[in-house]
Amino acid sequence: LAPEFQAAQPILADLEAAGFEAYFVGGAVRDALLQRPIHDVDIATSAYPAEVKQIFKRTIDTGIQHGTVTVMAHDVAYEVTTFRTESTYQDFRRPDKVTFVRSLKEDLKRRDFTINALAMRHDGEIIDLFDGLKDLHQGMLRAVGDPYARFHEDALRMMRAVRFQAQLAFQLEAQTKTAIAKNHRLLQKIAIERIHSEFIKLMLASNWQTGLATFIETKMSEAVPGFSGQATQLQKLTALAGHLTNECQVWGLFALTLTLNQKDTRQLLRAWKSANQVIDGTERLRQLATDLQTTDIDEAELKWALFSAGQIAVQDTLSVLKLMARITSEQQAEFRQIYDQLPLQSSKALAVNGQDLMTNGIQPGPELGRTLQRLRYAVVVGQLPNNKAALLSTIKK
Ligand code: ATP
Ligand code: MG
């Protein structure tokens, strides 16, 4: 038993001692069997939330209406969720009603994929009611029950399918895939934040190309903002080799692939409800990529473009351009070296600040900002040394 489960064993023991059933469930069981790193250890039990709260000293009502109580054990938080069924999904997303039940089978039945519907006893014995172990060993992602009905109930499961495909390098079982293709439009009913989260997980996974290929092939890409009508362009991405490491790289890749300008990039990211920090980072990446690919860029322009982007965007842009095979590894190293050797790498590192300029007779306001920017440029391109006296002497002239 993995140490993560061993640490949580007392919780199962306490629930069992009180006469209830309790199992490890969900992603942790799947990942342990696949010998992948385990994230959160989730527990399912026949005890109702009020009963769980009576058994443990320290609990938090995390999602009590859904049956989830957080139990603290040695400062680690475990989500203990009562066996439940979900019924009558009227809007293709959240269940209208959650019913607590005493049967493990009922609980496992509502789960999305067979590999996510395994339960593990305190001693490590696996309860496999939907042939999840076979699928796990064959690398197969298969919906529990009738895939069409399951995606119709909750369309987010379609995104989870391609996300798991990308993370686990699993195949999508044929009927499961067909059911996604038939239901792809229902994705429009799902909050973009939830789609976003799954989509980024997909794109940062080691087999993102496969997940993205299914996302396009099943026409899910037609049901999300900004990707409709772009299947041919998007398809090209699936042939690229390499990995992405953050969200700005993901969106930068799409902005460059779809050749978006600044305005359209911002519009795409706003439609996906990305954080402002991500929007800024992506825009820097897109801008620098455009500058670096300008054939007649001179040395000063190149240095200024690298400086303006800043260290993180320089790194991200070079990674993405390399991934897209628009630059070679040698060029990536060269650009990186030019940036590293700039006399100035961030605005703050300029030897004079606004205060210095004001003491030397420049009025606060736009003129001050312009002067600072002019000095930065002169230092970055090597016209002036980054030295206070030298810089102040030029503004006096
Ligand atoms: P991760 O490693 O990303 O946490 P996970 O499988 O644990 O993957 P969670 O979102 O943490 O995913 O959900 C825990 C479990 O709850 C899943 O393994 C699955 O059994 C069930 N589950 C989660 N979301 C759904 C859903 N939309 N429909 C059906 N079952 C779900
Ligand atoms: Mg999980």
Q: Is residue 13 part of a domain?
A: yes
Half-sphere exposure of 286 (CA within 13 A, CB side): 26
Residue 98 pairs with which residues in a beta bridge? 86
Give residues (CB < 6 A) around ligand 1: 26-27, 39, 42, 111-112, 116-117, 154, 156-157
Q: Based on the structure, what is the number of domains in the chain?
A: 4
- Within 10 angstroms of residue 134's Cβ, the number of other Cβ atoms is 13
Same domain, 317 and 248: yes
Same domain, 268 and 315: yes
Q: What is the pLDDT of residue 35?
A: 96
Of 182, 193, 47, 167, the closest CA to residue 115 belongs to 167
Q: What is the pLDDT of residue 94?
A: 72
Of 151, 142, 152, the closest CA to residue 175 belongs to 142
Give the residue whose CA is nearest to atom 2 of ligand 1. 27
Long-range Cβ contacts of 108-111 (<8 Å, 24+ apart) = 108/25, 108/144, 109/85, 109/144, 109/145, 110/84, 110/85, 110/86, 110/144, 111/25, 111/26, 111/144
C-alpha angle 325-327-332 in degrees, rounded to nearest 5: 125
Give the residue whose CA is nearest to atom 14 of ligand 1. 26
**Element of type H or E holding 45:** strand 42-45
Closest atom of ligand 1 to 28 CA is: 7
- Within 10 angstroms of residue 224's Cβ, the number of other Cβ atoms is 20
Of 305, 378, 291, 395, the closest CA to residue 343 belongs to 378
Same domain, 33 and 125: yes
Write the single-letter amino acid at 77.
A
Distances (CA, A) of 74 to 11, 14, 27, 71, 283: 11, 14, 22, 10, 44
The CA distance from 204 to 211, in Å, is: 11
Write the single-letter amino acid at 45.
T
Pocket probe for ligand 1: among 34, 66, 112, 144, the residue whose CB has the most ligand atoms within 8 Å is 112
Residue 63 pairs with which residues in a beta bridge? 68
Question: Which one of 129, 163, 196 terminates a domain?
Answer: 129
Distance 260 CA to ligand 2 centre (A): 35
Give the residue whose CA is nearest to atom 21 of ligand 1. 111
Same domain, 103 and 176: no
Same domain, 22 and 122: yes
Q: Is residue 134 part of a domain?
A: no
Same domain, 306 and 384: no
The CA distance from 102 to 224, in Å, is: 39
Q: What is the pLDDT of residue 343?
A: 96
pTM of the model as a whole: 0.94
Give the residue whose CA is nearest to atom 11 of ligand 1. 27
Interface confidence, given as ipTM, is 0.99
Query: The CATH number of the domain where 327 resides is what?
Result: 1.20.58
Same domain, 294 and 212: no
Q: Is residue 106 part of a domain?
A: yes
Give the residue whose CA is nearest to atom 25 of ligand 1. 112
Determine contact, residues 352/344, Cβ cutoff 8 Å: no
Q: What is the pLDDT of residue 93?
A: 74
Tens of pLDDT along the chain (397 residues)? 899 999 999 999 999 999 999 999 999 999 999 999 999 999 999 999 999 999 999 999 999 889 999 999 888 999 999 999 987 677 777 777 889 999 999 999 999 999 999 999 999 999 999 999 999 999 999 999 999 999 999 999 999 999 999 999 999 999 999 999 999 999 999 999 999 999 999 999 999 999 999 999 999 999 999 999 999 999 999 999 999 999 999 999 999 999 999 999 999 999 999 999 999 999 999 999 999 999 889 999 999 999 999 999 999 999 999 999 999 999 999 999 999 999 999 999 999 999 999 999 888 999 999 999 999 999 999 999 999 999 999 987 6
Q: Is residue 278 part of a domain?
A: yes
Closest ligand, as measured to the CA of 202: 1
Query: The CATH number of the domain where 231 resides is what?
Result: 1.10.110.30
Same domain, 75 and 188: no
Same domain, 308 and 386: no
Q: Is residue 76 part of a domain?
A: yes
Same domain, 316 and 352: no
Distance 152 CA to ligand 2 centre (A): 22
Pocket probe for ligand 1: among 39, 115, 129, 160, the residue whose CB has the most ligand atoms within 8 Å is 160
Q: Which residue segment(s) compose the domain that 206 sits in? A: 139-235
Q: What is the pLDDT of residue 295?
A: 86
